[in-house]
Structure 1
Amino acid sequence: MIPVTKKRATRVAKALLVHPDDSVVTLVEPVRAGAAIAFDARSVTALADTPSGHKIAIAPIVAGAPVLKFGFPIGTATIAIATGAHVHSHNLATALDGTLDYRFAPTAPAPVRQRDEPMTFQGYLRADGRVATRNEIWVLPTVGCVARTASRIAAQANAALTSDTKAGVIDGVHAFTHPFGCSQLGDDLDGTRSILAALACHPNAGGVLIVGLGCESNQIDALLREIPEQRRPVIRTLITQSAGNEIDEGVAKVAELADLARSHRSPVGLDRLVLGVKCGGSDGLSGLTANPLVGRISERVVAAGGCVLLTEIPEMFGAERLLMERAVTENVFDSIVMMVNDFKRYFLDHGEPVSENPSPGNVAGGITTLEEKSLGAVQKAGRTPVSHVIPYGARIEGTGLTLLEAPGNDAVSCTALAAAGATAILFTTGRGTPLGFPVPTIKIASNGALATRKPGWIDFDAGAVLEHGVDRVAQDLAMRVCEIASGASTAAERNGEREIAIWKRGVTL
């Protein structure tokens, strides 16, 4: 798929035809009514002013007919659409509706190209065989009541370690606060506890201080029972109701952990990387530039023997069959079906349609329906087979591509990726977002305009794919991933953007 490039003086705009069967193209620059739009050695004339990232019909579409993009239906035409017309919310609607039945029909895995020479990064080798991309001390509050206390402990401890030239190689002390842990019941409380326990086990945390209040539902003893015994030597706890000066005691415990956590980087291969992939604030180009680019990195990591985690289950609706047909076994297929349909029931049980997506920002950026968004989103996994399916709050079970249960919300899903074991996250965006998470979060712009406008947010410009092609740019991104995994800071890290968010699913007492 090579866009035809012409000089602007000819008033020919560039557009991308994703699949030969598609009935629309996606603009890579805005057009005025009457301008020619070139694609795949053909052209049409725009009937209206249309922004970049939006769709133009390349043939007449009758009312009620499916509109095709990526070679698949992205919804149904609500009125007749003329050649050259802008295709969006005014004439295109979703066709998604409720749960579905699926049949196991695996396809042969697509060949995945891999570079001859292996790529490496400088990681921290842990005693249990895992490899970290950072060596930090994490402070985790059990309950929102001590969130500010945890932040104060982390700030003071970090300042002390930074000023101490004998502190060893500690990359920082960070508190990850949240408002939960009390007034929760049943599965809701279990979810909070599972996420915090999983974060406490993360390899990027060379040591963990768990700060509790004392009277909360999320008791420290119950939380510790979810943490394996072999992890306990680098865990310390503090119950603030029982402490004298809780800040001084917390800082002292962090200093003790820092002595235990001193470490140095060593060269390792991509087989030791656990990569989370995520999109947020997407636009019409996300599924054409940034997400396919990340898909190439996913393929490379899996081919090397590493792990890739894909989540945002509601943003698989309409594209789930592409993942189901790549399940390595029928049991994995059944797990995907259960996860997708259970998530749809979650929407329906709350009186919401399964298609209540895309967001206003997605729509402004040119994404019309959830099917369109999903077909672009799943490309972050590349063409890799699906090896594992795990629930929210669980940790990775093996190498290959894992599907992780979590919603599309950026903060909730990225927290779940980190808790599951991701040591870096590739985060694609067409609209931009400053958010960062517990592990290095590499922001990848779908278009050059965003990368130019927000250099303080963006780490990599995937807009280069339009000029140089995805395979060439993938090598540049792979090198950047290795640099960041080796210690180079992300924009979010430089900005102090580090957050967690926990999926709230139950009543509050």
Structure 2
Amino acid sequence: MMNRAITINDTDNVAVALTDLSKGEVIRINDEDFTLTENIQAKHKIAIKDFRKGDEIYMYGVIVGMTNQAVGKGEPITTQNVEHRASSYELEQKKQVSWTPPDVSKWKDKTFNGYHRSDGQVGTANYWLVFPLVFCENRNVEVIKKTFEKALGLEKQVQYESYLNSLVDQYKSNGAQISDMGLTPMPEVPENIPDNPELFENVDGIRFLTHDGGCGGVRQDSETLCRLLAGYVNNPNVAGATVLSLGCQNAEVQIFEDALKKINPEFDKPVIILDQQNTGTEQELIAKAIKETFLGLIEANKIKREPAPLSKLTIGLECGGSDGFSGISANPAIGYTSDLLVALGGTVILSEFPELCGVEQELINRAVHKSSAEKFIKLMRAYEKAAENVGSGFDMNPSPGNIKDGLITDAMKSAGAAKKGGSSPVNDILDYTEYATNPGLNLLCTPGNDVESTTGLAGSGANIILFTTGLGTPTGNPVTSVIKVSSNSQLVQRMPDIIDVNTGPVIEGEKTIEVMGGEILDQVIRVASGETVTKAMQLRQYDFIPWKRGVSL
């Protein structure tokens, strides 16, 4: 039978409602009966002791808030009676690292079929990239995109054309009197929208990136953009790239080339760099870009999928549109997947530093190297100070949607978000655009903004991204498949077109975290082998937003 409310850790002094609860109802939590003083929605928190003003709230075994008034046992925890509070952290408090890996006997001999690169990386896909170093070239990239998509049969289907035509016909006949009667049913999204050109069966697609950077602003942002784009080209899912430069921008070709060499001194993928001011007319530039890109596709098509060990997987971890169940079902489930992959010799990247607020000491304690712990502390404190300097702070990270669905403080949100990283030792700390080269768990400094963070994960080498959500979000990535994991079954019923995996059975008491985490790893292997296309890729959710290192939470 499904529990009605639970505590997550033995030290917690609040419980989580797993279903809607009514005022006056008596519920049993940890062998004690509680009479509810108000209606409490599923995902929200219940006091399981009497609190005085100024008492600390514990969830997941850490401080997640502080009461600003007295709160009685059985009362709901809300934004009116609780405010943000998080534990302090210091390097001097660091403890010895210890970890017992999970049993991986089921997966130790499994492989995935991927694209082997000369540097030892293995891609889960095989894309050709086309992008500008500066926004001035965005229009030329769009022209090249339309040309290739039309010539190679990759034009996106106009799903809603017939629907709009029916509205136009009604308006012509009846003026503003438009109803749904007699309208063509809304079309279903096809399971596999063609992405790879038939002419090149081993090329999974051509990805066209545009952005608003590369000039203006501060020079550091242009340099960061060059490093990010270099990471994308070095990503194992990319076979090669066509790069457009105007010629006079801050994001100079030399900076981009230097960034590539720094990431990978042995880099040998084909990269076509075209400078408009040196090439001549726009027509000449575009014609040359099309020809060189076509020749690049011919070479990329010569690479075929071959078996690779699971240790060649680099999994990025992300959450967005989180709810009060995310930290109980979806996040710990992919956390267990993370531990399995680390035990198999793979690489995991946990991002979103604003959503590690309050769990810093735990991560410091898990750091294998003292230098990594020091770097983590430096990045966290610099990030938080930058937010405070503009009148913000990590405490302002939860969105209205998060709060509405039970995540009322940043520390509460963070304690659940950190569960994505499992329990393995932290092997390395990466600043934004630094490339993951050490197996095991890596922490990557990105904002909590979904697209900025997933953009950063792919730039640091993730060849698959696991993305948890409780409210639903359409985020994807151009070169890395994003597997969307729902925290609850209701979301899957409401938005089946965006969800790949449902961890709702954990909430419903039908599956354990361990069983769910193993199933997610099996799904990762299928996606990595090209056997399954994620919903984000089916919908062509190719989101790309570079972080400008301003304050973005």
Give the equivalent residue in structure 2 for 1:10: none
Match of 2:359 in 1: 319
The verdict on how the C-alpha distance between 1:433 and 1:165 changes in structure 2, with shifts beyond 3 A counting, is: closer
Superposition map of 1:358-507 within 5 A = 358-438=398-478, 439-466=480-507, 467-487=510-530, 488-505=532-549
Counterpart of 1:45, as a letter, is T
Task: List per-residue Cα deviations over 1:65-103 (Å, max 9, x = no partner).
Answer: 111111222111111111211102111111249x86431
- 1:259 is aligned, of 298, 309, 314, to 298
Question: 1:183-213 CA distances to partner (integer Å, 9 max, x unpaired)?
Answer: 1333222111111121121111111111222
1:9 is aligned to none
2:368–2:426 contact (8 Å) kept in structure 1:
yes
Is 1:125 aligned to residue 165 of structure 2?
no
* Distance (whole Å) between structure 1 residues aligned to residue 458 and residue 368 of structure 2: 24
Per-residue CA distance 1:236-278 (angstroms, 9 max, x = gap)? 1223343542433322222111111122111222100000001
Q: Which of residues 126, 143, 146 in structure 2 aligns to 1:135?
A: 126
Aligned ranges for residues 277-316 of structure 1 at < 5 Å? Answer: 277-316=317-356
Deviation at 1:168, TM superposition (A): 3.7
How many Å separate the matches in 1 of 2:366 and 2:549? 30
Query: Percent sequence identity over matched residues?
Result: 31
Equivalent residue letter for 2:422: G
Q: Give how far 1:329 is off.
A: 1.8
Give the partner amino acid of 1:92. V
Contact 1:120/1:267, CA 8 A, preserved across alignment: yes
- Distance in 1, Cα, partners of 2:372 & 2:550: 28
Aligned-residue offset at 1:149: 2.3
Q: Which amino acid aligns with 2:272?
A: R
How far does residue 54 in structure 1 lie from its aligned partner after superposition?
0.6
Q: Which residue of 1 aligns with 2:187?
A: none
1:212 aligned residue (224, 236, 245): 245
* Deviation of 1:225 (Å): 2.4
Q: Structure 1 residue 376: deviation in Å? A: 0.7
- 1:300–1:151 CA distance, 2 compared to 1 (3 A): farther
1:237 aligns with 2:237: no
Structure 1 Cα separation of the partners of residues 57 and 516 of structure 2? 30
For the aligned residue pairs, the C-alpha RMSD in angstroms reads 2.0
SS where residue 42 of structure 2 aligns?
coil
Match of 1:248 in 2: 287
Q: Under a length normalisation based on structure 1, what TM-score does the superposition of the two structures give?
A: 0.93
Alignment deviations for residues 198-234 of structure 1 (CA, whole Å, 9 cap, x no partner): 1121111111111222332212233122223643541
Q: Which is further off, 141-150 or 41-50?
A: 41-50
Residue identity opposite 1:55 in structure 2: K
Greater mean alpha carbon deviation, residues 38-47 or residues 105-114 = 38-47
Deviates more, 1:278-287 or 1:221-230: 221-230
Distance 1:385 1:165 in 2: 44
- Counterparts of 1:18-417 in structure 2, within 5 Å, are 18-96=8-86, 101-117=90-106, 118=108, 119-161=110-152, 165-228=198-261, 230-241=266-277, 242-244=279-281, 245=283, 246-262=285-301, 263-417=303-457
SS of the residue corresponding to residue 521 of structure 2 reads helix
Structure 2, unaligned runs of 5 or more? 155-196
Q: How many angstroms apart in 2 are the aligned matches of 1:147 and 1:50?
A: 50
Q: Structure 2: how far apart are the matches of 1:222 and 1:105?
A: 38
**1:172 maps to amino acid:** G
For the residues of structure 1 that align with 2:314 and 2:145, how far apart are their CA atoms?
26
Q: Which amino acid aligns with 1:332?
A: S
**Structure 1 unaligned regions, length at least 5:** 6-12
> 1 CA distance for matches of 2:35 and 2:140?
61
**What does the per-residue CA deviation read over 1:144-163, in whole Å, with 9 as the maximum and x for residues that have no partner?**
22223213323432444458
- Asked if the contact 2:91–2:374 (Cα under 8 Å) also holds between the matched residues in 1, the reply is no
Count of residues paired in the alignment: 496
| SS of 1:407 mapped into structure 2 | coil
* Contact 1:305 1:400 survives alignment (8 Å): yes
| AA in 2 matched with 1:153 | I
8 A Cα contact 2:364 2:373, kept in partner: yes
Question: 2:63 touches 2:86 (CA, 8 Å); kept in 1?
Answer: no
Q: Using the alignment, how far apart are the partners of 1:89 and 1:121 within structure 2? A: 46
Deviation at 1:108, TM superposition (A): 3.9
- Indicate if the aligned counterparts of 2:97 and 2:368 stay in contact, CA closer than 8 A: no
Write the letter of the residue equivalent to 2:500.
D
Bigger radius of gyration among the two: 2
Indicate if the aligned counterparts of 2:331 and 2:468 stay in contact, CA closer than 8 A: yes
Q: Secondary structure at the match of 2:483?
A: strand
- SS of residue paired to 2:16: strand
Scaled by the length of structure 2, the TM-score of the pair is 0.86
Secondary structure at the counterpart of residue 373 of structure 2: helix
**Alignment deviations for residues 123-175 of structure 1 (CA, whole Å, 9 cap, x no partner):** 11111110001101111211122223213323432444458644241000011
Check 1:506–1:281 CA distance in 2 against 1; reply closer, same or farther (3 A cut): closer
Give me the whole-angstrom Cα distance separating, in 2, the residues matched to 1:243 and 1:107: 62
Inter-partner Cα distance in structure 2 for 1:22 and 1:473: 24
Q: Tell me the amino acid that sits aligned with residue 110 of structure 1.
A: W
Q: Contact 1:151–1:174 at 8 Å: present in 2 too?
A: no
d(CA) in 2 for partners of 1:89 and 1:425?
Answer: 32
Most deviating of 164-173 and 480-489: 164-173
Distance of aligned partners of 1:186 and 1:248 in 2 relative to their CA distance in 1, 3 Å threshold: closer
Contact 2:16 2:46 in 1 (8 A): yes
The answer (yes or no) to whether the contact 2:52–2:69 under 8 Å persists in 1 is: yes
Give the direction of change, closer, same or farther, for the CA distance of 1:506–1:84 in structure 2 (3 Å limit): closer
Report the Cα distance in structure 1 between the residues aligned to 2:383 and 2:473, rounded to whole angstroms.
Answer: 26
For residues 42 and 270 of structure 1, the distance between their equivalents in structure 2, rounded to whole angstroms, comes to 45
